[in-house]
């Protein structure tokens, strides 16, 4: 139940309570219904002032003085509670032929009345019900058209009037190209005459696509905040209900509201919930979602951009949208938002740290370098985690140590201080991570090591080696991929050399190394034996890291065997190279592992010192 409906229900119950209390107070001075025998005794004792004779009930007024002995103890007690004076009463009329004679003998005035059952029912039930319904309708009108079952076909869009979004382009960082693209929408809403004068037409719809957390919704709110126009915001799932035709009705109502408040912006978040390609359902048919989509297509064709209504939508699954949504005349402008690069991450950190008290030594450029692949939402969470960590230990400002802890928490998970590891396992983890670090330092195309830790984190991570890329990379050469495979195998090879045995801790490293080697052959054509060919379909999702369903191989069994042989050859050659590297650096491996066992965390400065000492000794 929505908040408005809850409020209406509470108000209705309050009104009903007031009616009952009023009825109770109106009957407060009335004596409880008298037994007929007590009534006759009071008549003979001349304690009744007057009587009204009805067909079923007798009413009258009782003189409450000196009635002891004439009525029961309960009636006498009730009269004492009511106090002195005259009190109305009622009693059930029985077949008593002497009643009139007794009233005349006691000189009690009496009269008759014809009872109306319909009138009594009207006063006791129908009139309060009508009052209740009238108050309910009044409350519904005051609360607007979004409450109640009768308004189920109304749009549930949240309307932010003018700068009610609270966001402008200054609050959006790291996506400068997308901001410039959408600035045209802002300029059209501010000065449409400039475009109409030359015969230009602004795009009807703008579709913002990108990975989760990259700022799609934030960018749409910034457009409305910059233009200073009403902003209708809702999710694609809010159109679909269990009732047939509700989604289409809400689409029509949304566009009617937007036309009344033009110029304005309609923003539909998670468009894929509404705009999935028709016919993709398992059962097929023209279901409720397809009717809603059809209504959206019709509405987008039916309005004119000169009215000043701009439709914006966001999705991270553009590949499943219906092609009719993406054609010119509907969502004809697509704005892609990628994960921010190094300067973009630095700008985003600067925006989110405005409200945070930073220590003088905080280097946002270094933090941005240590967070490759982070989206805007990830960086906002990172700043918040750093601030929470500083507040938890009672600091006055957030320093680099807090950001280091926040990065470790976001990447590796929560530190498991209560996880007890036996000395042998801890030693294995120390040599494993030391092997990763030394191989990374020995390969020219590998990222430099920033920190080595054997502190357990998350669900299964017993340690990790954090590497800091010197720059963002969008292309990888074959030599760089081979160096990365070497780094992944460094931990397992270190266990082989030191203990003569291997553990299960290298499972994730082996999986990543195998996938990388296989992609070199099947995706990138980096095999001399198989030549310039690809053998597997790329993943279908552009922005979501979803697993690709297993598909039937499009190559022969002989080719599959050749792919397996090439993959094994790449991994075997990498293994041989790593063994040679770590055997040549056995002394450095021992020193680094012992330092990890002693301190649990080794930073870049300590690693440089170890490498320099070993270089001088050799």
Catalytic residues: 433
Q: What is the DSSP string of 81-92?
A: HH-SSEEEEEEE
Please report, to the nearest 10 degrees, the dihedral formed by the alpha carbons of residues 220, 221, 223, 229 taken in order: 130
Residues 6+ apart with CB under 8 A from 225: 163, 165, 166, 167, 168, 231
Please report, to the nearest 10 degrees, the dihedral formed by the alpha carbons of residues 512, 513, 516, 518 taken in order: -110
Q: Is the separation of the CB atoms in 149 and 29 below 8 Å?
A: no
Residues 6+ apart with CB under 8 A from 244: 288, 291
How far is Cα 437 from Cα 64, in angstroms, rounded to an integer?
Answer: 103
Cα separation values, 556 from 80, 551, 564, 565, 587, Å: 106, 14, 13, 14, 48
Strands of the sheet with 601-603, listed across from one edge: 464-468, 448-453, 601-603
Cα separation values, 303 from 194, 259, 298, 329, Å: 20, 9, 9, 11
Which contacts of 81-84 are long-range, i.e. CB under 8 A and separated by 24 or more positions?
82/29, 82/31
- Extract the tokens encoding 278: 């028709």
- Extract the tokens encoding 106: 């006691």
Residues 6+ apart with CB under 8 A from 381: 410
Q: Using the 8-state DSSP alphabet, how is residue 162 labeled? A: G
Q: Is the separation of the CB atoms in 265 and 229 below 8 Å?
A: yes
How far is Cα 512 from Cα 489, in angstroms, rounded to an integer?
Answer: 10
Region of 46 on the Ramachandran plot (φ > 0 left; ψ -120 to 50 alpha; else beta): left
Cα separation values, 55 from 36, 154, 184, 239, 336, Å: 14, 55, 85, 61, 85
- Extract the tokens encoding 58: 């007798």
- Residue matched to tokens 């999710």: 235
Closest to 280 in 3D by CA, of 317, 255, 311: 317
- Residue matched to tokens 């037994």: 35
Q: What b/e readout covers 381-404, taking b as 16+ CB neighbours within 10 angstroms? A: bbbebbbebbeeeeeeebbeebbb
Region of 508 on the Ramachandran plot (φ > 0 left; ψ -120 to 50 alpha; else beta): alpha
How far is Cα 572 from Cα 567, in angstroms, rounded to an integer?
Answer: 9
Closest to 90 in 3D by CA, of 125, 112, 61: 61
């Amino acid at each position: 139940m929505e908040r408005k409906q809850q409020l209406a229900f509470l108000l209705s119950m309050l009104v009903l309570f007031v009616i009952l209390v009023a009825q109770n107070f109106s009957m407060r001075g009335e004596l409880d219904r008298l037994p007929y025998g007590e009534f006759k005794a009071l008549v003979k004792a001349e304690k009744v002032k007057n009587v009204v004779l009805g067909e079923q009930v007798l009413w009258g007024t009782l003189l409450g003085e000196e009635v002891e002995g004439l009525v029961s103890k309960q009636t006498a007690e009730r009269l004492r509670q009511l106090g002195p004076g005259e009190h109305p009463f009622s009693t059930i009329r029985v077949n008593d032929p002497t009643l009139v004679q007794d009233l005349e003998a006691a000189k009690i005035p009496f009269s008759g009345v014809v009872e109306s059952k319909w009138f009594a029912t009207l006063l006791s039930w129908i009139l309060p019900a009508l009052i209740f319904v009238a108050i309910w309708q009044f409350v519904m009108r005051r609360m607007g058209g979004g409450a109640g079952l009768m308004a189920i076909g109304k749009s549930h869009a949240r309307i932010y009037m003018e700068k009610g979004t609270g966001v402008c382009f200054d609050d959006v960082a790291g996506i400068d190209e997308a901001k410039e693209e959408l600035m045209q929408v802002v300029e059209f809403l501010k000065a449409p005459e400039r475009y109409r004068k030359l015969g230009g037409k602004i795009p009807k719809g703008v579709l913002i696509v990108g990975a989760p957390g990259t700022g799609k919704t934030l960018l749409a709110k910034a457009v409305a905040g910059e233009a200073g126009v009403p902003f209708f915001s809702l999710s694609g799932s809010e159109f679909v209900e269990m009732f047939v035709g509700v989604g289409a009705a809400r689409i029509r109502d949304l566009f009617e509201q937007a036309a009344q408040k033009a110029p304005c912006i309609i923003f539909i978040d998670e468009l894929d919930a509404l705009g999935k390609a028709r016919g993709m359902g398992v059962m097929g048919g023209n279901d409720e979602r397809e009717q809603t989509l059809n209504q959206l297509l019709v509405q987008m064709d039916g309005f004119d951009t000169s009215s000043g209504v701009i439709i914006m939508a966001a999705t991270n699954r553009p590949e499943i949208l219906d092609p009719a949504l993406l054609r010119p005349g509907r969502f004809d402008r697509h704005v892609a938002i990628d994960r921010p690069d190094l300067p973009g991450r630095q700008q985003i950190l600067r925006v989110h740290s405005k409200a945070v008290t930073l220590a003088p030594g905080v280097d946002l450029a270094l933090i941005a370098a240590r967070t490759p692949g982070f989206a805007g939402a990830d960086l906002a969470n990172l700043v918040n985690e750093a601030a929470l960590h500083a507040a938890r230990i009672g600091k006055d400002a957030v320093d680099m140590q807090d950001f280091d802890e926040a990065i470790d928490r976001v990447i590796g998970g929560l530190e498991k201080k209560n996880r007890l590891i036996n000395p042998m396992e801890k030693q294995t983890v120390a040599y494993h991570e030391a092997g990763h670090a030394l191989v990374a330092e020995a390969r020219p195309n590998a990222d430099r090591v920033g920190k080595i830790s054997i502190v357990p984190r998350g669900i299964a991570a017993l340690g990790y080696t954090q590497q800091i890329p010197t720059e963002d990379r969008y292309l990888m050469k074959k030599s760089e991929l081979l160096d990365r495979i070497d780094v992944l195998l460094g931990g397992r090879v270190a266990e082989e050399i030191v203990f003569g045995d291997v553990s299960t801790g290298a499972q994730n490293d082996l999986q990543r190394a195998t996938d990388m080697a296989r992609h070199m052959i099947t995706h990138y054509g980096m095999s001399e034996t198989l030549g310039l060919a690809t053998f597997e379909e790329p993943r279908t999702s552009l922005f979501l890291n979803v697993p690709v369903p297993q598909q039937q191989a499009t190559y022969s069994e002989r080719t599959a065997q050749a792919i397996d042989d090439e993959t094994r050859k790449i991994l075997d050659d990498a293994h041989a190279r790593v063994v040679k590297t770590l055997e040549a650096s056995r002394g450095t491996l021992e020193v680094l592992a012992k330092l990890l066992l002693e301190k649990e965390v080794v930073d870049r400065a300590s690693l440089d010192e170890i490498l320099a000492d070993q270089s001088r000794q050799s």
